[in-house]
Every structure is written in C-alpha cells, then in structure tokens.
Structure 1
Amino acid sequence: MAYHASAQDFVAIADLNPNSTHPNIVGVIIGKTDVKGFPDRKNIGSERFTFSFTIKDSPDHFINVSSWGREDYIHGLSNSFRTGDCAIIENPLVIAKDAEKEDRFCPSTPSFYRLLVTENHSMVRVCSDMEADNRLLALFHLPVKDPSDFYSLGDIVANGQTLDGSVINILAAVRLIGEQKYFTTSDGRKGQRCEVKLFDETVAVFSLICWDREAIQLVQAWIPRETVLFIADARVNFDNFRKSMVATVTSKTIITVNPDTKEANQLFNYAREFSEIGGLEDQEKQSGDEVSLDSIADVFTVNQLKLKAQENLDRQDNIYGITYGFMTTLNLDSSISKVIQSRCAKCKFRVTKEMQTCTNAACPQEGQPLEVTTGFDLLVDITDHTGTLQSCTLSGIAAEKALGCTVEDFVSLTEVQRTTLKWRFLLERCKMYLKVVPSSKARTGLRGNILSCTLADPVEVRQNVLV
C-alpha cells in the first residue's frame, strides 16, 4: 500500500540513512536507464524486470534509485516520468550501497546509500506545475562533477588510443543529431542507436553514440548548434572502422544540458557566434568526411536526394549516397581566386593572404599572427535525367583526387591546360559519392558536398541507373 507524503515530510538526500522511517524525497531526475529483464531464479522460465534513475535535491547531493518487479509494473513506473522531471519518491527503502558494484554500472554519487522503490510500499510521482520547485528544476543545469574537470575534444583526439576505454568528462556543443536507427542482434534481441555530432573550439566534428532508448529520448529535445553538454563519465574508445576516437553514453553517464557554468557559457557563445557567421559550414567543406566511402552503398537520382533532404529538414540528418550524374558547371578556367580559397588554419574561416590576423571574432587564435592554408573550393552543378543539384561543393582532398593534381600543380597550369582539365569532366557521366545536408537557410533547401568523383564505368551505370 503506497504511503502519501505531505509537503513537510520531505527528507534531504544528505540526511538519509537506513533507519529513516517512511522517508519522502523530492528532487529533479538527472538520469535514467532503460528497463531490462532478467531470468527469475525463484521462478524458472519467468523474468524479473528492473530500471534505475538518479535524483538530485541540492547542488552537492544526489542518489541512485532502482526498482525491481513485474514487467507491467516496471514499464508503467518507468513510463510515468522522464529525465528532467521534478518528482517525489514516497517511502523508498534506504539501503547501503555496494560501492564497487555501483561505481561500475551506475552514476557515481556522494551518498553512501541507494534507494529501492517497491510496488507494494513505494510510489514515484511527477510534481505538478504548481508543486514543481524552480530551485529544484535549476539543479538539472548543474553538472554532477567539477565543471572545470573535463577534456576538450581536441584533448581526446590528441591523446588518441592512450585514452581508449577510459571514462572521462566532456564539455562540447551539439552540431548535428543523427537519425535513430533500429537493428536486431544475431540472438534476436532488438536494439537502437543514435549518433550525435559534437564540436568545440578545438575540433569540428566528434561522435557521441547513444544505445539506450532513454538517452536517445533525451537527445531528441536538443537543438543543434544551440545546446551545450557536460557529459559526466562518458566512455571513450578508438573506433577502428572510423580510425578516430568516439564517445559512448553508458549506464554511468549523466548528461547536463546547457550547464550553468562559466566554461559552458563561453562555449555556448562561441558556438552561437561561429554558427551565425557560417564557420561550421565552412569547416564542413574543408574537414572532409569521417564516413568511409566503402560504407556508402545507396544509389539516388538527383530528384530522390532532393525529396529525402526535404523529409529530413527538421532533423537535419546527413544523407549519404551515390549519384551517377553529369557535371554541368565546373569553372576551372575562372580566376584563381574563384577556384582556390585561403582559410585560417585554426578556424577555417575565409581570409586573404594579405591579412595579418583572422577576422573571425569566434576564432580561438583571434588577434594572433595568421596561419593560412589554401585548397580547392569549387561549386559544381550535378545533373541527371531527373533534375539538377546546384552549387555542390568539391573541395580539399576530394577535389585534388578528382582532378588528379594538387593546388600547387593547378596554379602552374596554363589557361589552355586548365580548360583541357575542365573538359575531362564537364558533361561526362561521373560516379559521385555525396553528402547532402538539409538546410532551411540554403536557397535550394540543401547543401551538397562531393566526397569523391570519378568518371563512371558505362557497365556500372547500366546496372545502377534506370532512365
């Protein structure tokens, strides 16, 4: 039978102990795991279900809560509240925690105890709008770890495989939120996955992987380029497929959204300013793409790419695919300044070689002597029998590989040689690997980036293109 709390009965998490009688706790939910089922040792052939969450009632005090029971009860309890809700826990059991076990699988807490919620004696309910305490809700934006104790994305990349398998804190901004993908394992279990692209002042793109439904549900509320995260106890690994470091959300991880800290506010201002001046888009053109070409297999017509981009406009998901089309615009014989661009080596902002310093207010090296890199930066129109993709970017290493020459080689070509190079591709059927990003700001509703371009094999075209 559930025990109902009155407002004056609340016990602070800091004051809890196993002798507490009918304790009632009010706080904000700062983390939550998925429901999982396990074989019931007492009833062979049946399962018991469990999930856990973490509740916080002051800047320095939070505690883990778990519940075990029937499938209907556990699913119903889990579905009754979400991360970020202000909730009341009535009459839980206060138990001394097994520190070694908890530290391996649960968020690290300052409490010596954990709470157990049972079907017959306890209750968890979400506070109504009238009951919700703004002081408690504000705790959701305070990290559970020292706000200055974190790795920048640049630190993670620089340390590389020496950090493989480590559990660390990360401060970063959200760049893109990928599409939730579903899968079935070899033993028949169903799962899901969502990849979030992060960035900060040091690294343009870094992957955060979420496997739990609860974490993915939290992700969906984030606004790309306007959300900063303090990720406590994320696991980082070297991904052999990508040849880069990635972070993963685990059952230990607590994510603080838009933390109310000096470090987070600085990153938020950087992210907003850099996004407003188009810095992230410029970086996308220069940084290449971490996705292996071998992993891109879907073939699209131009019209199919346009439709898919329109469908994904709200989610801003990247679309990867292969197109067999013609380059109908390739201005290699334009002035050098329209083919090759100079950029700040630190932030990739467009500059001229005459500048002494970078003019990007959000550049991490603002005011310091300018370091310049140069590279191809071409705008290409791609056409097939269904339509035209205008102003797709062919830049950096992808452009050098496609054209078969470096920037230095190109500069030394005569005008006649540049025209000859242009007509090797113009109006010829090409096989192009593309990344298409839906963009409400772009006139066409999308931005295209050519990851690879080669002259197409006629046999392969016949096999893949229906005209």
Structure 2
Amino acid sequence: MAYSISAQNFVAISDLHPNLARPSIIGVVIGKTDAKGFPDRKNIGSERYTFGFTVRDSPSYFINVHSWGREDYIKSLSESFRVGDCVVIENPLLQTKEVEKDEKFSPSTPSCYKLLLSENHSTVKICTHNEVDAKLLSLLKLPVKNPQDFYSLEDIVANGQSLDGKIINVLAAIKSVGEPKYFTTSDRRKGHRCEVRLFDETESSFAMICWDNESIQLAQSWVPRETVIFASDVRINFDKFRNCMVATVISKTIITTNPDTPKARVLLKFIKENAEMLDLDDDMGDELRESINLQTILGVYTVEKIKMEALENEGKTEPFYGIVFAYISTLNIDNETTKIIRNRCAKCRYVVNESTDTCSFCSSLSSSEATPVFPSFDLLVDLTDHTGTLHSCRLSDTVAEEALGCTVQEFQALTESQKTGLKWHLLLERSKIHFKVNFSANSWTGLRVSLLSCKLADPVEASLNLLEKAK
C-alpha cells in the first residue's frame, strides 16, 4: 500500500543513535533474505519466523533490518515489498551491532547499528516511486562496495581453487537466466535454485547460482545481454560436477543492477558492440570451456527419451546431461566437401573468423597482440539406437580426438582410404556416450546435443542397460 511521505520527518541512517524516540527512516531496499522458520525454544513444538533486509538512504550509509515473529506476520511483511522498493520504517528498535556475529550472515554495513522490527510497535510502509526523491532512487545504481574492487571472470578462473570458499565482488554481464528449479530435500524441506550465466570481456560463460527466492525473483528481471550487475560479497566455490569455479549468491550478497560506474558502462558498451559475436557463441558451445566431471552424470537415456525430455523442457535455458548407448550412424570424416576442422583461439577456444583468421572475442579487447590459434575437430554426427536417431550432434575438440583415436595433426596426415577405414572402425559400433543438451533457438532442431565423451561400449554394460530400459 502506498504511503504519503510529504509531511514526515525522517532521521538519516548516519544520524541514528540509541536516545532517539520513535524514529522514522526512509530508504530504498537494496538487499533482502527469505522468510525462514526455526524452533521456538519458549514454546516447544512451535516455530518463530524471521527475515532481514538492507535499507539505504545515502551513498555512504545503509543499515540491516531484522524482524522476528509469528509466521503470518513475518510472511505478510516479507511479501509486501521487494528489492528496489522504497520503504518507510517507523518506530524500530535501535541496537548496537556486534560486527563479527551480526555480519557473519548479513551484509556488511557502515552503520554501527542494526534495526529490529516489532510486530506490536513497528511498521514498514511502501512508497511509490512517484513520491520519492530521484536522488533516493539513484542509490539503487550505486554498488555498496568500491566499484573498482572486483574480480574479472578471467581472474576467478585463473586463480582456480585458491579462491574456493572466498567471498568476493564480481562485475559481469548477464548471458542467460535459467528458470527456477524446485525440489524437495531428503528431510522434506522444499527448495529452489536458479542458474544465471555471466560473461565479461575476459570470459564468455561463468555460472552463478541463486538459492533463495529473493535473488531468484531479482534474476528473473534481468534481460540477457542488456544487463550488467555488480555482485557484492558472492561466494566462490569449486564445483565438482562441472570441474570448475562457480559463484553463489548468499545472505551477505547485495546485487546492484546496471550500476552507474565507469567500469560497468565500459562492459555495457562491450556487450552491445559484440552482440553478433555473442550470438555465434551460442552455437559454438560452452562445452569447450567447461570440464564436466563425467562421474557425476548417471542418468541413462534412449534417443526417444532425450527427445521427450527436450520437448517437455522446450524454451528452458538450463541444459540437461545424461548417458546414451547408441551407434554413430553418420560420420563424414572422409568427405572433402565437409568442413570438419576449424581454427580456434588458443585463449578463449572460440572458433575464429575464417576470412580474417582472428578471434571476434579476443580481438574486441584493447590488446594489440594477435592471439594464436590452433586446429580443432568440429564434427556433426548422428546418433541412433533402437528408439530413433538424433541428428547433427556436435563432436568437437579433445572429445573428438579421443573418439577418433588421433590428434588433428595425425588425422590430416592420413590418406583418404585411411580416413574411410577409421570411419568404419567407429560407424555402427555401439558406444557409451555422455551428452549435454542445450536448447538453442538458432538450431534448426531447437536443441543442441554435444558429446562430452564417446567410447566403445562394454557389451555387458550396454546389454544390462538396454534390458533395464525394456522393463
């Protein structure tokens, strides 16, 4: 409900002190956590609820606000506003914060205090943006940390596991936002997650995971390739499944959307000027820049099941992974008219422009040095089992070298008859294939199947899996 603020006298966050009687504070909400329940020690068998948010009223000052109470009160209050809203807080309890304790799971703030809301004595009222001074709304564009203090995605990748568990700041553009995934844990708690893909001038794809409803809702408002974010205090971890580093939004994180900073403006200019190159990257595949731990891929599919899964999840941005026991039914490696080897950039592994032999991604950077390239397999194969055929699956780079049993250089030295012999060594032999399926509007099939591993199958393992699928 909108609230009139014309006649209200507000106390600036910088002027808060314990002797104030019934203070009122106005500010924009820059961070917020989900409402959560916990056992009530005073009433065994019942629960109390809590949530927190962070309010800012000037470039230099913001403060954390916490509320505890009945489930109905906390959930109703929490759902009444979102990050980006302007609120008036009346009659909160002012309490000196214990930095080590209070900021372990909450954003770090410059204020010496925290605000506590009481159901019986405090109120939070929403203001419309029309009622609020533009200077207050402009605070939503200012990061809460030094805008120069951030890691590029390349820095994170280069530092690798030495950053595992560290909390850092990240400036990046939004490449894609996945749909929220809902699940139930083993102890029957409901959860959700959303994967956001980031990129910048240095890295073409980097995962950031949101686990709470507030950050997921915020992420859903981001427009891919038009949005830049400054994420303060995200946690960096090594993901054993992907075998790479990922960022995670935590309760300390505050995300500034399209920040008004010089570095953010440079990044926004970069993504606008390189839109065509980024479209090309969708088809060339992130699988060349992420190393999946194949041991974590357990689900066995038939070709028919892959197609059904793709149909059921049409339009989704997140990929799915699996194993299929199938034949390679098309493998054009002895056809001179088919382009099966392309040059890739040695730095970012993009396929380079054939006419200029330059990398569209790296050449857009300020460096004047030419980036070296290397030849790489880039094959399209068909996969067939007893349920059907998957056409134009991508077999690329080192995965192709392992499947063919030779490097690009060794392959180029083969005669045409030797290439034909190599083809028939693999063709129509049942293989165990780990795959990744992306949904791609640029693909004529609507999806992009990439082979992460392709090896001749063990006959016993293949037979057991076929029998299992037949049941």
Does structure 2 conserve the Cα–Cα contact (< 8 Å) formed by 1:30 and 1:56? yes
Which stretch shows the higher mean deviation, 15-24 or 269-278?
Answer: 269-278
CA distance in 2, matches of 1:317, 1:154: 22
Which structure 2 residue ranges, 5 or more long, are not aligned?
none
Alignment of 1:252-263 (within 5 A): 252-263=252-263
- What is the distance in 1 between the residues matched to 2:352 and 2:239? 34
Deviation of residue 268 (structure 1)? 2.7
Equivalent position SS for 1:107: coil
2:421 matched residue in structure 1: 420
**TM-score normalised to the size of structure 1?**
0.89
Q: Counterpart of 2:463?
A: 459
Deviates more, 1:341-350 or 1:394-403: 341-350
Q: What is the aligned residue count? A: 465
TM normalised by structure 2 equals: 0.88
- What pairs with 1:377-392 in structure 2 (closer than 5 Å)? 377-392=378-393
3-state SS in 2 of match to 1:410: helix
Q: Which moved more, 1:77-86 or 1:358-367?
A: 358-367
How far apart in 2 are the matches of 1:40 and 1:461? 50
2:130 matches 1:155: no
Q: 1:389 to 1:7 in 2, by over 3 A?
A: farther
Comparing 266-275 with 314-323, which one deviates more in the overlay?
266-275
2:444 alignment partner in structure 1: 443
Aligned partner letter, 2:409: E
CA deviation after TM superposition for structure 1 residue 207, in Å:
2.8
Query: For the residues of structure 1 that align with 2:159 and 2:353, how far apart are their CA atoms?
Result: 33
CA apart distance, 1:286: 6.2
> CA offsets, 1:285-327, max 9 Å, x none?
6625433222222333434433433443433111212233333
Deviation at 1:263, TM superposition (A): 1.3
SS of the aligned residue for 1:124 comes to strand
Between the aligned partners of 2:136 and 2:272, the Cα distance in structure 1 is 28
How far apart, CA to CA, are the structure 1 residues paired with 2:333 and 2:141?
Answer: 51
Tell me the SS of whatever aligns to 2:417. Answer: helix
Please tell me the residue identity of whatever aligns with 1:334: N
Q: 2:353·2:360 contact (CA, 8 Å) conserved in 1?
A: no
- Pair 385,276 (structure 1): closer, same or farther in 2 beyond 3 Å: farther
Amino acid at match of 2:297: I
1:441 Cα deviation from its structure 2 partner = 2.4
Answer yes or no: is 1:173 the counterpart of 2:177.
no
CA distance in 2, matches of 1:314, 1:131: 39
Distance 1:132 1:314 in 2: 38
Distance 1:391 1:353 in 2: 21
| Matched letter for residue 322 of structure 1 | I
Larger CA deviation: 379-388 vs 136-145: 379-388
- Provide the rounded CA distance (Å) in 1 between the counterparts of 2:292 and 2:306: 18
C-alpha deviation, 1:56, in angstroms = 1.4
1 CA distance for matches of 2:293 and 2:179? 18
C-alpha distance in 2, partners of 1:205/1:214? 23
- Partner residue of 1:363? 364
Match of 1:88 in 2: 88
Aligned-CA RMSD value: 2.9
Amino acid at match of 2:164: D
Tell me the alpha carbon deviations over residues 165-191 of structure 1, each in whole angstroms, 9 at most, x when there is no partner.
322111122334345444555555443
Aligned amino acid, residue 91 of structure 1: N
Change (3 A) 1:321 1:269: farther
Q: 1:182 to 1:291 in 2, by over 3 A?
A: farther
Which segments of 5 or more consecutive residues in structure 1 lack a partner in the other structure?
A: none
Partner of 1:20 in structure 2?
20
Note closer, same or farther for the CA distance 1:131–1:386 as it changes in structure 2 (3 Å cut).
farther
**Counterpart residue type for residue 199 of structure 2:** F
